[in-house]
A and B are shown apart, each in its own frame.
Chain A
Amino acid sequence: MEEPAVVTRGLTKRYGDLVAVDHLDLELHRGEIFGLLGPNGAGKTTTLRAIHGIVPAASGEIVYAGRRLHGLSPAVRVRLGLGLVPEGRELFPAMSVEDHLELGFVTGRGRRLAEARDEVYTLFPRLAERRRQAAGSLSGGEQQMLAIGRALMATPALLMLDEPSLGLAPRVVDQVYDTLAALNRRGLTLVLVEQHVYEALALAHRAYIMTSGEITLHGPAAEVRERPELRTSYLAV
């Protein structure tokens, strides 16, 4: 089997007395869509943010493409190919779509700015129509597309998406998921964090179910979907 894209060993993160992530061991494979699923407060967002480096892990190890990430800033991790589409999108409300894409661009990853931007516009024609519009004036769906587009500008090898369906109309969610599937077919490894377990399991290849900072269930998505414990572990909190 080929080398995994990301491995975490004993990853732990505390906020004061609260243990958000408790000795988490994960293994993400290159080219897959990996679902990290579970109820609110399970530690999914913290896990993604620790891998991305935006919150420092308290202890444990994160290895990406054979390299330990300990002590590396998010800026370095982005240059290494780790991308994050955060919960709440974290856009710059008064800046235009075009400015977002330009800021998301990272040099030295084999593409020019115009190339990367055209690709995003091909993927999301809606953004091309709105290129001069301020992010704050976009609809929720368009903002989500912009958040994904901005992350794609850095030419990530692994893209982590935190609740990409949150607050979107079901039709828009389908659109976003279709785009994610297309990106994955082109070789992009995806990590999908969702509270909507069943929708995410339909898209993912493999899934880990997380509850209270720990993994309670894992395996191929189709199997996890059929497991009777899914309902109990999901409702346990």
Chain B
Amino acid sequence: MSPALFVELLLGGVVVGGLYALMAFSFSLILATTHVLNVAHGVFMVLGAAAATLLVRHVGVALVPAFVLVATAFLVLGTLVYMALVRPLGARPPEQILVGSILVTFGLALAAEALLGFYWARLIEPQPIFALAPRVASLSLGPVVVSGPRAVALLFTAGAVAVLHLLLVRTRIGKEARAVAQNATGARIIGLEPSRVATAVLTVGIMLAALSGAVFVLAIPLTPYEGLRLTMIAFTVSAAGGVGNLPGALAAGVALGVAEVFTGYWVGAVWSPMTSLLVLFGVLLWRPVALVGGAGR
């Protein structure tokens, strides 16, 4: 393998992995603060990709306004999901919320996938594929050339990680979210409102998943039925990187993205989705409580 190809593949892995990390971190922060295991999380990523594709390719909105619209729409959708599906679970014990949320969001995921696939094929194009092909100039960093879409994806990931970090470390609501993730009882005792934190984390988390999806299809196309596979990736990254742990999610996401790309190159593209499942098996064998352990670092 030539060094140029190696760098090319590595970069591709980092781009994909960074977006996996963002999506997985929002998934695990929701899990840590609300005990909601959002099986539909990957589906929101696909829905974000679909919404961006619709706006850019079929309505003719420019890329940046389209992303702003997607973010706004999914903040609203996230609030609705919270009010319709999560708030009714109320102050039940965590195990009941966990199990209840798996069932409810699994149903939501299946319904959303089916509706999206069906109506997109019927109303927009017969073979639904979500992809954006923006004309963005490529970036030259010495001998390495980064394609425009990849550069946008990398910038988006870096920006989103920085914003998330600042939100969690500097703002009151971010600190409240970390407190609830680390010790929900302690948080209630000092008068924090878990429902306030849950609303914020769930809406921002769903918005982030959708936005990651919109950016994802700058580099790699998605189809309507990939949501649950992406949720499994969120699982894997959260288990490997630690629930509610941003640096951990970033490391695990990037490692997984790179592993997928190299598996695809060496073994064959059909095998790359297997990578995340093998990693998940490995992590769960090594640390069976990975998904329910401590959180919110």
Contact = CB atoms under 8 A, between A and B. Distances in A.
Interface in B179-212: 179, 182-183, 185-193
Given A54-B185, A54-B188, A86-B186, A92 B193 contact: no
Interface string A70-92: 00011101110000101001111
B179 A95 contact: yes
Contacts of B178: 92, 94-95, 99
B66 to A, nearest CB: 37
B191 A94 contact: no
Nearest to A84: B189
Contact of B192 (A75, A89, A91): A75
B186 A91 contact: yes
Contacts of B179: 92, 95, 99, 103
Given A99-B175, A106-B191, A94 B296 contact: yes
B191 A90 contact: no
B175 A103 contact: yes
B176 interface: yes
Contact of A92 (B186, B188, B191): B186
How many A residues touch the partner, as a band?
20 to 34
A93 interface: yes
Given A54-B185, A92-B183, A93-B182, A102 B192 contact: no
A62 to B, nearest CB: 17
A103 B189 contact: no
Contacts of A79: 191
B189 A94 contact: no
A224 B255 CA distance: 66
30 contacts: A54-B188, A54-B189, A74-B189, A75-B191, A75-B192, A75-B193, A78-B190, A78-B191, A84-B189, A90-B186, A91-B183, A92-B179, A92-B182, A92-B183, A92-B186, A93-B182, A93-B183, A94-B178, A94-B297, A95-B175, A95-B178, A95-B179, A95-B182, A99-B179, A103-B175, A103-B179, A103-B192, A104-B190, A150-B190, A154-B191
Given A54-B185, A75-B193, A86-B189, 16 more contacts: A86-B185, A89-B186, A92-B179, A94-B296, A95-B175, A95-B178, A95-B182, A99-B178, A99-B179, A102-B172, A102-B175, A103-B179, A103-B192, A104-B190, A154-B190, A154-B191
